[in-house]
Amino acid sequence: MRPLILLDVDGPLSPWAAARHAKPAGYVEHRLRISRWSRKRLRIWLNPEHGPALLALAGAANAELAWATSWEHRANRQVGPAIGLPPLPVVEFAGPQPSWKFGPVARFAAGRPLAWFDDDFDLFPDARQAFLDRRAGLPTELIPVDAHTGLTGEHFGRLEAWLRA
């Protein structure tokens, strides 16, 4: 089965916790409208090099990229094009999630090797451990990303090493 590479937006691709006036190197500011009914625009930083780097790693390993973000399908409309990603499959998080993203991700990734970039793995440590326990025997790499910095070369290196293994 093709391995999955799951992407969160807030934190990994958009370092939301970075100091307001200290945009990380390589990132470009975007102002995105979060709903068609609101005039407010959300400021996010995205690095246009991330899309091609992720596509190259996924292509070399015959892996599939997918979104695992509260942006859900909006990631395909607003984030992916800004960093050069085509439309990707989306993990859907219908309704409140008592264990955060772990249940929907477990269903989406059923039986497949999985690498996952996110900044919130530690929010629900019991749910994280239960997720990992259920995936025992399946290659699973949770790659925590600091929301102050977003994805770095170290994260890409860790993904590349996992894909090679």
Assign 3-state DSSP to the chain and report helix, strand, coil percentages, each to 5: 30, 20, 50
Percent of the chain with pLDDT strictly greater than 90: 74
Domain count, the chain: 1
pLDDT at 37 over 80: no
Q: Which residue has the higher pLDDT, 102 or 97?
A: 102
**pLDDT tens profile 116-165:** 999 999 998 999 999 999 999 999 999 999 999 999 999 999 999 999 98
Query: What pLDDT does 30 receive?
Result: 83
Mean pLDDT calculated for residue range 83-95: 92
- Other residues' Cβ atoms within 10 Å of the Cβ of residue 16: 16
pLDDT at 28 over 80: yes
Percent of the chain with pLDDT strictly greater than 70: 92
Which candidate, 9, 81, 93, places its Cα nearest to that of 48?
81
Let me know how long the chain is.
165
Range of the domain at 133: 4-164
Query: What pLDDT does 24 receive?
Result: 82
Phi (first) and psi of residue 102, to 5 degrees: -60, -45
Q: Give me the CATH number covering residue 21.
A: 3.40.50
Which candidate, 129, 47, 116, 36, places its Cα nearest to that of 82?
47
Which residues is 140 bridged to in the sheet? 114
